Structure 1
Amino acid sequence: MFTGIIETLGTVTNIVKEQENIHLTVKSTITKELKIDQSVAHNGVCLTVININENEYTVTAIKETLSKTTIGSLKVSSAINLERAMKLGDRLDGHMVQGHVDETGTCVKIKREQGSTVYTFSYHSDKNNITIEKGSITVNGVSLTVVNSKKNEFSVAIIPYTFDNTIFKNMELEDSVNLEFDVIGKYVSRLNNY
């Protein structure tokens, strides 16, 4: 479990394809605190640490993960949002995030305002995912509050700190993002489809 509060940015330093999997090597300031078999969220995707070498570590993304997330589009030198799994007893500053991406979305609008940046994302209608006004959403691993919730589209307002300390500062129109919808909303949506 994660909170959606990004700890730091990492940089992809190597990508190795092995059969249908890829092994990503990431350089990060938190590497020295990691252990083999530990879960780390990479742009919201929970991946397991399989190797550590000085200030770099390696994780594996399997075919299922690659087909449902943006992990396969990363390149060497890509910046990536990182968060280690939460500890029991710590404050839950974001919201309950599983690290299991529901689908990818597309950035369809970026509006710079005085004091914030508003990003609008579209997502697929065939997956029955929903957002609600002032509900929680995770975009590339960042816990955010939904504004302007519409069918298959929503916006989020990013404060300057989040903009400066996540990959939101690099986002452009038409970029694909990892979306994890609120777990309670997913259960409600599932019940309505029975």
Structure 2
Amino acid sequence: MFTGIIEALGTISRLDNNGKDIRLTVSSPTLDMSDVALGDSIATNGVCLTVTEMGDDYYCADVSQETIKYTGFAHYKAGSKVNLEKAMRPSDRLGGHIVSGHVDGVGSVSQIKNHTDYIEIWVKAPTSLAKYIAHKGSITVDGVSLTVNEVNGSEFMLWIIPHTLKETVIGTYKVGTQVNLEVDVIARYLERLMLGDKAAEPTKKDIDLAFLAENGFLKK
């Protein structure tokens, strides 16, 4: 688990593709690695990754094709900046909100407006996530715990203060930037709870072209 409070910025120094997954090397001179062990988790732009190799100022992790498919890792390259947060301990302050590090989808920055004391950023979320995004609710954007200040359909607005711009990759955002989104886990549990006894019933898949291809009725 994480809190969405970023501890350091990192740089993707290597991306090694072995055909099945990607071995990622992240360098960060400011992330304290003294209490990190092999097998520990580090949220990398909001994606929970397992440390498989490490040094004083870097760590390596394997990123599966499934993760690449559903996160912004599809757009990352050597030199990309990423937000970093080590897994929380029971004694830590929960300064943001409960973050699992399991990305729900990829959004896109649609507007950026400069104000005197803050930056206004609008993000367009996937349609399937719109129901989980609420005014004054919490959302995780590239691993950063943020408050939703306004909602318009599947778009939502954030107010970003100068400190957050300086200490996270949000300061590099432009219109069109792809961002990892994780909705508030409480909203997901509430949705499941509302199903009542129906939650035990098998999920029926909609029959579409993707379903037909997945089940061998169409050639991929």
- TM range, smaller chain: over 0.9
Deviates most, 150-159 or 2-11: 150-159
Sort the Cα spacing of 1:164 and 1:67 in 2 relative to 1 into closer, same or farther, 3 A. same
Q: Deviations over 1:55-100 (max 9, x none)?
A: 2210111011111101232111111000000010211000000000
Query: What TM-score comes out, normalization by structure 1 length?
Result: 0.94
| Relative contact order higher in (CA < 8 Å, ≥ 6 apart) | 1
Which residue of the partner structure matches residue 161 of structure 2? 159
State which of 63, 66, 69 in structure 1 corresponds to 2:65.
Answer: 63
Number of residues paired by the alignment? 194
CA contact (8 A) 1:5 1:83 kept: yes
CA distance in 1 between partners of 2:26 and 2:166 (Å): 20
- The alpha-carbon deviation at position 126 of structure 1 amounts to 3.4
Q: Secondary structure at the match of 2:33?
A: helix
- The alpha-carbon deviation at position 187 of structure 1 amounts to 2.2
The yes-or-no answer on 1:6 pairing with 2:11 is no
Which residue of the partner structure matches residue 212 of structure 2? none
Query: What TM-score comes out, normalization by structure 2 length?
Result: 0.84
Larger radius of gyration: 2
- The alpha-carbon deviation at position 191 of structure 1 amounts to 4.6
Q: Deviations over 1:25-83 (max 9, x none)?
A: 01113263221101000000000000113422101110111111012321111110000
Q: What letter matches 1:30 in structure 2?
A: L
Which residue of the partner structure matches residue 217 of structure 2? none
Sort the Cα spacing of 1:192 and 1:110 in 2 relative to 1 into closer, same or farther, 3 A. farther
CA distance in 2 between partners of 1:110 and 1:191 (Å): 36
- The alpha-carbon deviation at position 144 of structure 1 amounts to 0.3
CA contact (8 A) 1:31 1:57 kept: no
In the TM superposition, 1:14-163 aligns within 5 A as 14-28=14-28, 29-30=30-31, 32-33=33-34, 34-127=36-129, 129-163=131-165
CA distance in 1 between partners of 2:129 and 2:169 (Å): 26
Q: Give the number of the structure whose residues are more often strand, by fraction.
A: 1
Q: Secondary structure at the match of 1:2?
A: coil
CA distance in 2 between partners of 1:149 and 1:130 (Å): 11
- The alpha-carbon deviation at position 149 of structure 1 amounts to 1.6
CA distance in 2 between partners of 1:151 and 1:3 (Å): 27
Gaps of 5+ in 1: none
Sort the Cα spacing of 1:151 and 1:192 in 2 relative to 1 into closer, same or farther, 3 A. farther
CA contact (8 A) 1:108 1:120 kept: yes
Deviates most, 60-69 or 22-31: 22-31
CA distance in 1 between partners of 2:185 and 2:7 (Å): 22
CA contact (8 A) 2:129 2:154 kept: no
